Structure 1
Amino acid sequence: MKHIWTILLLLAIPVIVNCQTNYYLIIGTYTRGNSEGIYVYKMNTETGDVSYVNKAAASNPSYLDVSPDEKFVYAVNEDASDKGSVSVFSFDKTNGTLKYIDKQTSGGDHPAYVAVNKTGKWVAVANYTGGSFSTLPIMANGTLGVPATIQHTGSSVNKERQEKPHVHSTVFSPDDKYIFVPDLGIDKVMIYSFNPGSGKPEPAAVPFAAAPPGSGPRHFTFHPNGKLAYLVEEMGGEVSGYKYNNGKLSLIQRISTYPADFKYKKWSADIHISPDGKFLYASNRAPDSIAIFSINSKSGKLTPIATVSTLGEIPRNFTIDPTGNFLLVANQETNNIVVFRRNKETGLLTDTGKRIEVGKPVCLKWIKF
Structure 2
Amino acid sequence: MKLKNIFYLLCTSIIFGCVSKSGHTLLFVGSFTDGKPDAGIHVYAINTDTGETTLLHEEKNTINPSYLKIGNHGHFLYSVLESQLPTHGKVAAISVDSLSGKLKLLNMQDSGGRNPAHLSLHPSGRYLVNSNYTDAGISVFNINSDGSLGPHHQLLEFKDSSVVKGRQDAAHLHSTNFSPDGQFLFGQDLGADKIRAFKVIDTDAGPLRLRPSKEISVKPGSGPRHFTFHPNGTFGYGISELSGKVTAYQYSDGDLVFLEDYPSYATNQEIYRAADIHISPDGKFLYTSNRGPKEDSIGIFSIDQNSGKLTLVGHEPTYGKHPRNFCLDPSGQYLLVANQFSDNIVLFKRDRETGLLTKLSEEIQMDNPSSLQMYKYRVE
Aligned twin of 1:98: 103
1:366/1:357 CA distance change after superposition, 3 Å: same
1:33 and 1:82 map into 2 onto residues whose CA distance is 11
1:289 and 1:33 map into 2 onto residues whose CA distance is 28
1:33/1:59 CA distance change after superposition, 3 Å: closer
- 2:25 paired with 1:23: yes
Instruction: Tell whether the 8 Å contact from 1:79 to 1:85 is kept in structure 2 after alignment.
Output: no
Q: 1:315 aligns with which of 312, 315, 323?
A: 323
Q: How much is the aligned-residue C-alpha RMSD, in angstroms?
A: 1.6
Aligned twin of 2:63: 59
Aligned twin of 2:145: 140
- 2:43 paired with 1:40: yes
Aligned twin of 2:129: 124
Q: TM-score, normalised by structure 2?
A: 0.89
Instruction: Tell whether the 8 Å contact from 2:35 to 2:63 is kept in structure 1 after alignment.
Output: no
1:20/1:317 CA distance change after superposition, 3 Å: farther
1:18/1:172 CA distance change after superposition, 3 Å: farther
Deviates more, 1:266-275 or 1:72-81: 72-81
Deviation at 1:79, TM superposition (A): 4.3
Aligned AA for 1:48?
Answer: G
2:35 and 2:117 map into 1 onto residues whose CA distance is 18
Instruction: Tell whether the 8 Å contact from 2:69 to 2:78 is kept in structure 1 after alignment.
Output: yes
Aligned twin of 2:226: 219
Aligned twin of 2:53: 50
2:35 and 2:352 map into 1 onto residues whose CA distance is 36
Instruction: Tell whether the 8 Å contact from 1:81 to 1:108 is kept in structure 2 after alignment.
Output: no
Aligned twin of 2:196: 190
SS in 1 for 2:114: coil
Q: 1:235 aligns with which of 239, 242, 258?
A: 242
Instruction: Tell whether the 8 Å contact from 1:174 to 1:222 is kept in structure 2 after alignment.
Output: yes
SS in 1 for 2:243: coil
Q: How does 1:71-90 map to 2 (within 5 A)?
A: 71-77=75-81, 78-80=83-85, 82-90=87-95
Where does the alignment leave 5 or more consecutive residues of structure 2 unmatched?
1-18
- Count of residues in Structure 1 that have an aligned counterpart in Structure 2: 350
Instruction: Tell whether the 8 Å contact from 1:28 to 1:61 is kept in structure 2 after alignment.
Output: yes
- 2:223 paired with 1:203: no
2:316 and 2:227 map into 1 onto residues whose CA distance is 21
1:319 and 1:302 map into 2 onto residues whose CA distance is 20
Aligned AA for 2:77?
Answer: V
2:212 and 2:274 map into 1 onto residues whose CA distance is 28
Aligned twin of 1:178: 184
Deviations 1:280-314, CA, capped at 9 Å, x for gaps: 00000011100100101111000111111000000
Q: TM-score, normalised by structure 1?
A: 0.92
Aligned AA for 1:349?
Answer: L
1:350 and 1:182 map into 2 onto residues whose CA distance is 31
1:196 and 1:344 map into 2 onto residues whose CA distance is 38
1:217 and 1:274 map into 2 onto residues whose CA distance is 21
Deviation at 1:366, TM superposition (A): 1.3
Q: 2:156 aligns with which of 146, 150, 158?
A: 150
Instruction: Tell whether the 8 Å contact from 1:178 to 1:191 is kept in structure 2 after alignment.
Output: yes
| Moved beyond 6 Å, runs of 4+ | none
Deviation at 1:106, TM superposition (A): 0.6
Instruction: Tell whether the 8 Å contact from 1:119 to 1:196 is kept in structure 2 after alignment.
Output: no
